[in-house]
């Protein structure tokens, strides 16, 4: 399940090398409309990409659908794709997730390379071999585990992002800091998100990806410790699903709000230090604001949590912490505790 992750400072050289390492008859380049406009100019002069057939899909998570997947399969077929073809996914998490799934299933699987262009996809979606699409109103409901040949992380693309997309990816970095150690986490809380130092951010991305890689290598199919990466996601995915039909938010915002909830649960259930929880909540509220849920929304949010893929037999499963780096997987909470958690989220 492991893939090669390359931290690059020279994307033209690194991508050309990665493509040349995979024998292929046809090359396809998958992008969404945003990456076609903002990121294609960064790689368009790479000689090997001159031959590539471009496949363009709609941007944002609303296009992470069966219809879009079918379009990609169709274009691979119409473009002469065979089992020996190669696809390069250039884009954020939506492109790498959907592109990875399209590649994994076309002709029963062709090889692919991920070039994540958002901070979120660099530290989250590009590593670990999870692919998929949203289905039946649920996020990432259909997909497979199948790692890319190579993942190329180049901070040059981060300069194409707006502040909200930097924040979205940073939430996953906060999660990685919480499951690693106090030093990593302190560095994250002290980073100035209003005046981004891209060189420093690139180094922190390297640290963040290494934390995720270490956990994925131990547990590629998420039977045990890989569940550490779900911190903030049980509540976060519920917030994201709730917002989809109202006013969609970027994934990382939902994760940040999910971290508030699950650190609160960690305080009351597994002894996470209150001062560290308060410090983290303050940082998140200052940077991410809050989500306008009311107590009338609790039942709906609870219902989304009961549909989470991480559950067993309908019991809602949380990853909690005893302290920074002290991971407690397979934790449960009663409906009453979950409603208290939502009270804290709104008022805390």
Domain regions of the chain by residue span: 4-160, 164-347
CB 327 within 8 A of CB 179: yes
CA-based end-to-end distance of the chain? 40
pLDDT, residue 2, reads 55
pTM for the model? 0.85
- The number of beta carbons lying within 10 Å of the beta carbon of residue 37 is 12
- Chain-centroid distance of CA 166 in Å reads 13
Three-state SS at 4: strand
pLDDT tens for each residue of 183-232: 999 999 999 999 999 989 988 999 999 999 899 888 888 788 989 999 99
Q: Can you give the pLDDT of all 348 residues of the chain as single tens digits?
A: 556 888 888 899 999 999 999 999 999 999 999 999 999 999 988 988 998 999 999 998 889 999 999 999 999 999 999 999 999 999 999 999 999 999 999 999 999 999 999 999 999 877 788 899 999 988 889 999 999 999 999 988 999 899 999 999 999 999 999 999 999 999 999 999 999 999 899 889 999 999 998 998 888 887 889 899 999 999 999 999 999 889 889 999 999 999 999 999 999 999 999 999 999 999 999 999 999 999 999 999 999 999 877 777 778 999 999 999 999 999 999 999 999 999 999 987
CA distance 169 to 117: 11
The class of domain 164-347 in CATH terms is: mainly alpha
pLDDT at 145: 92
CA distance 309 to 94: 18
Which tens digits make up the pLDDT trace of 91-121? 999 999 999 999 999 999 999 999 999 999 9
Q: Strand, helix or coil at 67?
A: helix
User: Residue 221: is it exposed, middle or buried by C-beta count within 10 angstroms (0-12/13-18/19+)?
Assistant: exposed
In CATH terms, the fold of domain 4-160 is Rossmann fold (3.40.50)
């Amino acid at each position: 399940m492991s893939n090669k992750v390359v931290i690059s400072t020279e994307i033209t050289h690194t991508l050309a090398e990665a493509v040349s390492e995979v024998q292929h008859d046809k090359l396809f380049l998958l992008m969404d409309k945003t990456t076609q406009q903002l990121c294609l100019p960064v790689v368009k002069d790479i000689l090997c990409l001159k031959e590539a057939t471009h496949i363009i899909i709609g941007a944002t998570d609303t296009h992470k659908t069966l219809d879009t997947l079918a379009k990609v399969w169709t274009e691979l077929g119409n473009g002469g794709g065979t089992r020996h073809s190669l696809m390069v996914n250039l884009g954020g998490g939506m492109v790498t997730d959907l592109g990875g799934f399209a590649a994994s299933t076309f002709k029963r699987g062709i090889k692919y390379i991920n070039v994540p262009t958002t901070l979120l996809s660099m530290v989250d979606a590009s590593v670990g071999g999870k692919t998929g699409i949203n289905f039946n109103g649920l996020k990432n409901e259909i997909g497979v585990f199948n790692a890319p040949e190579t993942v190329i992380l180049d901070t040059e693309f981060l300069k194409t992002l707006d502040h909200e997309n930097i924040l979205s990816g940073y939430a996953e970095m906060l999660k990685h800091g919480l499951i690693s150690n106090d030093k990593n986490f302190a560095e994250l809380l002290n980073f100035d998100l209003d005046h981004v130092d891209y060189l420093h951010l690139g180094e922190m991305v390297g640290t963040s990806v290494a934390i995720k890689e270490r956990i994925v290598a131990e547990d590629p199919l998420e039977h045990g410790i890989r569940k550490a990466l779900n911190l903030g996601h049980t509540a976060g995915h519920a917030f994201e699903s709730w917002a989809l039909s109202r006013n969609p938010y970027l994934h990382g915002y939902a994760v940040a709000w999910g971290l508030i909830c699950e650190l609160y649960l960690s305080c009351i259930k597994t002894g996470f230090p209150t001062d560290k929880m308060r410090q983290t909540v303050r940082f998140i509220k200052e940077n991410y604001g809050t989500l306008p849920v009311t107590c009338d929304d609790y039942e709906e949010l609870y219902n989304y949590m009961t549909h989470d893929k991480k559950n067993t037999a309908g019991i809602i499963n949380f990853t909690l912490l005893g302290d920074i780096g002290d991971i407690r997987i397979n934790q449960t909470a009663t409906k009453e505790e979950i409603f208290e958690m939502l009270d804290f989220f709104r008022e805390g």
